[in-house]
Amino acid sequence: MMEHATFAAGCFWGVETSFRALPGVADAAVGYTGGSLANPTYQDVCTDRTGHAEAIQITFDPSKISYDQLLDHFWQMHDPTTPNRQGPDFGTQYRSAIFFHTPEQEKAARASRERWQARFRQPIVTEIVPATTFYRAEEYHQRYLEKKGLSSCHL
């Protein structure tokens, strides 16, 4: 049976591409979650007033890739010590967050954060919060880098 994992780690285009490449990840959709505005648009989220993060929701096969492996990938792919910023992107929509779907995911995420803290000089600021409604982003954002023939967001 497939499971879901939801992460925010900066601009969702690169996060989606990175997770989509992992064996066992069946799908990855970009969208918005963690805020208060229902049915937000990209323009709404860019105002930094909705409370939503640019996030990805992953559908994965736990018999092929574990949630712990997804967490390890999450910690390696971004800087979880910078509040509301990844590279040149800044604002609460670019925060680092793990949105857990089950008590088991919450426990795994918290344990993983403790293990990974030893690898960073600064404190990890990643939020670990319950998953709420995931609003799928506009279609032009889905597989954006792939559609543009790009491998990453930043030079």
**Catalytic positions:** 11
Cα–Cα dist 50/71, whole Å: 26
3-class secondary structure for 70-112?
HHHHHHHHCCCCCCCEECCEECHHHCEEEEECCHHHHHHHHHH
CB neighbourhood size of 50 (10 A): 20
